[in-house]
Structure 1
Amino acid sequence: MGVTRGYHVTDDEGDDKDEPPLRAGRWLARCVAGAVRQAGIDPARERVSVIVGTGLRELRAVERWTLDGVPVRRRDLHFDAAVRAVLPDVAEVITVSNACSASGHALALAQDMLAAGEADAVVAAGCDAMSESMLTMIGRVADAPTAVLQPFQEGRAGVLLGEGAVAVVLQPRTDGGARPLATVLGTGLSCDAHHETAPDAGGIVAAMRDAHSRAGVRPRDIGLVLAHGTGTALNDPTEAAALREVFDGTAPGPLVTGVKGAIGHTSGSAALMSLLIAVESMRTGSVPATVGLSEPIPEAAGLRLVIGEPADCDARVAQVNAFGFGGVNAVSIIRVDR
């Protein structure tokens, strides 16, 4: 398939010869249950909905059904049964398949549901597992197997897949309520349909500006950016150009980092994976360096990329970027109060 490396999750059961079924749903169930427990909400007493963003759903199960004769129920390709196995009283489970920005869209929909009064709390989640189809796709667009994912690196070789699940709980802020880990100020979306796979700076800029408008912030208010940063020939210069355009005139500008060099491209869960890093960076005052980055591409000149060592950070507002095939973009703005 032209792929020799990846960022795998080690399963609790089975091995390479006995692959557990429905891996993404298993991880998702654990994450959703943990997030609900940590937030202290009770789906039996409150209206709790779950929105799952995914790029592939349980595509691997379809491959095994087709190639190996391992049966799968079609309803299990979505995540209702996986979530209800651990949270049977949730009001509804919605699966959103929006490519690599899917969990960013899940976050936006969660905000909308709360604003419309359709839920007391919403779990926004993301999950994806590797599949032969996706591995074959990334292998065929590279001249040689990629050894390491290097966001914004000059001479970068391409993307590598990660996998996993992530979940956060959103609730309306109330006086006297528990102090949240972070506040979601707004999420901007765009679907520019510029190309099946190639990103478009105009569509990305539109999503960023939509996010700023919805959040009620200006570019100079943002102290940290979690970049999409896929390490590919097209995404990195396009994203860098969009960031330079949006943050022009805000010198020194926000710190910029990305997580995919450390965990791979986790597809539909990528947006929320980055959001968690943004929250922890602002809570701890330390931003992790972009793994694999030592010599930035020319298009990133002027950006405050975090290279080599963690950077001290006193930011209170962060921007989280997530972009998908077809120009399906999601940009979220969050705030942490220390």
Structure 2
Amino acid sequence: MTVRARRVVVTGLGVVSSIGNGRNGFGTGLREGRSGAGPISFFDTSGFAHDRMCEVPDFPGGNPEHGLATRMTVAAARMAVDDAGVDLAVLRGAPGLIAIGSTDGDARDVDELTELELSRGLPHLDPLLARRFRLSRMPVAVAADLGLSDVEAITLPNVCAAGNYAVGYGIDAIRSGDADFALCGGGDTPNRKVFANMYRLGALAPDACRPFDADRQGVIFGEGAAVLVVEALDFALARGATIHAELLGYSLTCDAYHPTRPLQEMVTACMRGALADAGVAPHEVGLVLAHGTGTKANDPMECAALAEVFGPGAVPPVSAIKSMIGHTMGAAAAHACTAAVLAVQEGFLPPTINHRVLDPECPIDCVPNTSRAAQPDVVLVNALGFGGANAAVVLSRYAA
């Protein structure tokens, strides 16, 4: 592995998810292979043949002036800072960054408009409700909650790969010396419009998400947020931080080949680029956190790309956590990065649940149904977004 002049490490994890909150709750949910799927509660699903989603039952705190996605993201950021054991005064005195990925942000608030208002034509929006629609509110709300008044606050709307884009942005900022720390992650809550769009595309599963399974029928939506505290190694060591993992590298590709279907060549190039940036050989990777949506088109393409990167028959174990928490859109890659850190630090492989029969077009070890004790030293996190916005991150066990 390449040793860089300024190494980048993860020191804190914060999670809001349908299978558990915080480092311990989320980690336990992953180990136990929990499913967060259940009936949709936030809108009337009459007229839809499917009504399943992975909703978050509860999470700590939140400003009622913020929308749900923002409240979840702020809660995850607060948990991450607490997990990092960092005095906020230290962060307030250092150059920093808050990078949050999202697809729809607080757009669920549009569902609060009544049918009566809509029937009158253009509804009269409450000014507070209208302000929630701006994705830029999400990192700003995190900064305000933590009292970080002198940080760059950026939203990355790179759809399903947004969380990895945010982590990559943090890596660049710290490597270049523009920041000593970064809060990187994503938050999202699907709304009725998003559900209806995917339903019309025929991409939603009726009961469960089954990545790589011969009988897979599509994705299940999820909601939640995940935030990682990322620091320059020297900054972390100077404050006596506990280091959870090291971020070795990342890569992005954006090809605009098709509105929804990723181009295999660019997915392969993205993963190879991340390994090259990390200075890691393919055989060093002990686990892949796959995009793994459980759709007919995505899974074979992703498996074929993995075979190109690692060689046929040489692909390491592949976990698809969307089988447990659903597709959390702009938060999905951040949830996967968090799962990767936990896998490295705690010594296990998260399972791909709901698995019955492996699709012959997906010849991988998907860690079916049950987590597995293991010691992956290096993990590749793969994320694919609509419009060809792909992002891959490589992280490893920290070695002094």
2:73 maps to which residue?
28
* 1:204 alignment partner, one of 267, 286, 303: 267
Shift of 1:74: 2.9
CA distance in 2, matches of 1:319, 1:51: 20
Cα deviation, 1:13-60, whole Å, max 9, x if unaligned, reads: 9xxxxx996000001111112212322152322222211001112222
Q: Do the aligned residues in 2 keep the contact of 1:187 with 1:214 (CA within 8 Å)?
A: yes
Cα deviation, 1:284-312, whole Å, max 9, x if unaligned, reads: 222122011221111212x2221132223
CA distance in 1, matches of 2:177, 2:216: 46
* 1:119 alignment partner, one of 179, 204, 222: 179
2:108 maps to which residue?
60
* 1:74 alignment partner, one of 125, 131, 137: 131
1:50 maps to which residue?
98
Shift of 1:151: 0.6
SS of the equivalent of 1:6 reads: strand
One-letter amino acid of the structure 2 residue matched with residue 147 of structure 1: D
Q: Do the aligned residues in 2 keep the contact of 1:9 with 1:163 (CA within 8 Å)?
A: yes
Q: 1:143 to 1:306 in 2, by over 3 A?
A: closer
Unaligned 5+ runs, structure 1: 14-18
Unaligned 5+ runs, structure 2: 1-47, 118-123
Are residue 173 (structure 1) and residue 230 (structure 2) matched? Answer: no
Shift of 1:194: 1.2
2:40 maps to which residue?
none
CA distance in 1, matches of 2:191, 2:361: 32
CA distance in 2, matches of 1:143, 1:169: 34
2:348 maps to which residue?
286
Q: 1:337 to 1:208 in 2, by over 3 A?
A: same
Q: Do the aligned residues in 2 keep the contact of 1:64 with 1:70 (CA within 8 Å)?
A: no
* 1:237 alignment partner, one of 297, 300, 306: 300
* 2:147 alignment partner, one of 81, 84, 88: 88
Q: 1:63 to 1:184 in 2, by over 3 A?
A: same
Q: 1:285 to 1:311 in 2, by over 3 A?
A: same
CA distance in 2, matches of 1:259, 1:146: 18
1:16 maps to which residue?
none
Report sequence identity in percent.
Answer: 33
Shift of 1:166: 0.6
Cα deviation, 1:242-290, whole Å, max 9, x if unaligned, reads: 01111106x5541111101111000011111111111212222221220
TM-score using structure 1 length: 0.91
2:53 maps to which residue?
6
One-letter amino acid of the structure 2 residue matched with residue 136 of structure 1: A
CA distance in 1, matches of 2:56, 2:125: 21
SS of the equivalent of 2:333 reads: helix
Q: Do the aligned residues in 1 keep the contact of 2:203 with 2:219 (CA within 8 Å)?
A: no
Cα deviation, 1:186-230, whole Å, max 9, x if unaligned, reads: 011101211000121111001001101100011111010011100
Shift of 1:111: 0.8
CA distance in 1, matches of 2:300, 2:67: 36
